[in-house]
Amino acid sequence: MSSTHSSSLGRDAWLRLRANKMAMASLFLLAAVALISLLGPLLCSYSYDQQNLDRVFQSPDTTHLFGTDNLGRDLFARTTYGGRISLAVGLLATLVSLVIGVTYGMLSGYCGGRLDAWMMRLVDVLYSLPFIIFVILLMVLFGRNFLLLFLAIGAVEWLTMARITRAQTINLKNAEFIEAARALGYSHLRILFHHLLPNLIGPIIIYATLTVPAVMLLESVLSFLGLGVQAPMSSWGSLIKEGAEKMDAAPWLLFFPGMFFCLTLFALNFLGDGLRDALDPKSSKD
């Protein structure tokens, strides 16, 4: 019974999302960007770190679709390879932040009382710290390992998710279906993760679509400071930084990575709006 009910809710949400043309266009655009980033380096004749000093600052042509940089490296290969890095950082760091934030917020809102007050005071204290400095400290303490970049960024992006989850949990913890679960003798962990969490999926998904571009932007700032992606590796953030420095001599160095980054940013925001409308039960069967 509950399985049928859940599947029907999911199907209704999908139908509402499919009716939103802008959200669906954004979904297909994101899929196209991900596919290009995944397959681009494999289809390109040049490696992302292959230098050719005879072709420095070559403008886009049939040989180099996006032109070359100051070391003669193919910008198409570097942009698509950078897409892998940026999307991976955005998705994995967002996943880390959601796991921390959702768990923390549910526990705080469900327990309430003094524990809730202390947990939220900790969030307030962490909010007062500059995110960049906190990430830099984590990177300095644990080293400049690229994999730790996911954890470092995710460790500072969970605070807002914790607050959102806490507020939703407080609204739901005294609902009838939660009271029924308590009356049946279910454990607190089962109530949290089998009854509360499914009802928080909507806000979680919506906020995740907003966190991914924020994480990607934070990664670009870290790359600019020399703590993110290191040469010869590339990300959209590091490529935009390099392109901005050489914009007068070679504007294509800024245009193509910036175009990919902006398209991804807009698509994620439009998809987030569509998911918000699709997952809002008040909008069903209008």
User: What's residue 274's pLDDT?
Assistant: 84
**Of 95, 81, 97, 79, nearest in space to 261 by CA:** 79
Q: Is the peptide bond before 232 cis (omega within 30 degrees of 0)?
A: yes
Task: Using 70 as the pLDDT threshold, list the residues of the chain that sit under it.
Answer: 1-10, 139, 142-147, 224, 226, 280-286
Looking at residue 150, its amino acid is F
Do residues 245 and 224 touch, judged by C-beta distance below 8 A? Answer: no
Across the chain, where does the E strand assignment appear? none
Q: What are phi and psi of 68, to 5 degrees?
A: -130, 165
User: What's residue 3's pLDDT?
Assistant: 45
User: What's residue 143's pLDDT?
Assistant: 65
Separation between Cα atoms, residue 163 and residue 152, nearest integer Å? 20
3-state secondary structure of 252: helix
- Which of 196-234 are b and which e, b meaning 16 or more Cβ less than 10 Å from the residue's Cβ? bbebbebbbbbbbbebbbbbbbbbbebbeeebbbeeebb
User: What's residue 2's pLDDT?
Assistant: 42
User: What's residue 6's pLDDT?
Assistant: 46
Q: How far is CA 123 from CA 78, 119, 149, in A?
A: 38, 7, 21
User: What's residue 12's pLDDT?
Assistant: 76
User: What's residue 144's pLDDT?
Assistant: 65
Residues 6+ positions from 97 with CB-CB distance below 8 Å: 153, 154, 155, 156, 157, 158, 161, 211, 215
Report if pTM > 0.85.
no
User: What's residue 76's pLDDT?
Assistant: 92
User: What's residue 133's pLDDT?
Assistant: 75
User: What's residue 196's pLDDT?
Assistant: 87
User: What's residue 9's pLDDT?
Assistant: 63
> For tokens 């196209």, what's the residue?
32
